[in-house]
């Protein structure tokens, strides 16, 4: 088994759609990015790439490449799943933590787990999504952005 970790941050901007864990969440602000800014999917993608020694999403999907302008992060994560399999591994499990002061994401966690498990072709029970506030501290606490951490494990395909 191999393990990787990922971390991502995006700025929160009023009026943008909020995509988290592959699910659009009703809110008055969304994450700004070259893609849809989905910090959870980006952290998971980086964790998976790390697990198979394939650097990070910035090197695979450069943010100065117009191909990826406004792209759904779900499609980037699907490509990462293929990279994992091209390297001879299968995704075993992923665990992510979102740092966000609001909105409450508990009502959307099951939908995120289902969506991520579809993209990665693993069971919903192999996907864990958690969230915490930052107790009002720092940039996430002030609502200026959101951050996510993720860990992923992969197993060699015989």
Residues that bind Mg ion (CB under 5 A): 8, 42
Q: Which is nearer to Mg ion, 8 or 101 (CB)?
A: 8
Q: Which is nearer to Mg ion, 69 or 110 (CB)?
A: 69
Count Cβ neighbours within 10 Å for each residue of 9-39 and write b for 16 or more, e otherwise: bbebeeebebbbbbbebebebbbebbbbbbb
Q: Which is nearer to Mg ion, 8 or 54 (CB)?
A: 8
Q: Which is nearer to Mg ion, 44 or 131 (CB)?
A: 44
Q: How far is the CB of 8 from Mg ion (least distance, A)?
A: 4
And the tokens for 140?
Answer: 């996430």
Give the Å distances, CA to CA, from 35 to 24, 41, 67, 103, 124: 14, 11, 10, 21, 25
Q: How far is the CB of 100 from Mg ion (least distance, A)?
A: 14
Q: How far is the CB of 153 from Mg ion (least distance, A)?
A: 21
Q: How far is the CB of 118 from Mg ion (least distance, A)?
A: 21
Q: Which of 92, 156, 83 is nearest to 125 (CA)?
A: 92
């Amino acid at each position: 088994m191999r393990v990787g970790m990922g971390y991502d941050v995006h700025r929160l901007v009023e009026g943008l759609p909020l995509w988290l864990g592959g699910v659009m969440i009703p809110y008055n602000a969304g994450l700004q990015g070259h893609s849809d800014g989905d910090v959870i999917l980006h952290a998971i993608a980086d964790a998976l790439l790390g697990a198979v020694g394939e650097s990070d999403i910035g090197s695979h999907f450069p943010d100065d490449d117009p191909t990826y302008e406004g792209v759904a992060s779900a499609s980037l994560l699907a490509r990462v799943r293929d990279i994992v399999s091209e390297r001879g591994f299968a995704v075993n499990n992923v665990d992510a933590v979102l740092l966000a002061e609001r909105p409450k994401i508990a009502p959307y966690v099951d939908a995120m787990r289902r969506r991520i498990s579809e993209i990665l072709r693993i069971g919903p029970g192999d996907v864990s999504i958690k969230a915490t506030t930052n107790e009002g501290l720092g940039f996430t606490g002030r609502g200026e952005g959101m951050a996510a951490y993720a860990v992923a494990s992969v197993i060699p395909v015989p």
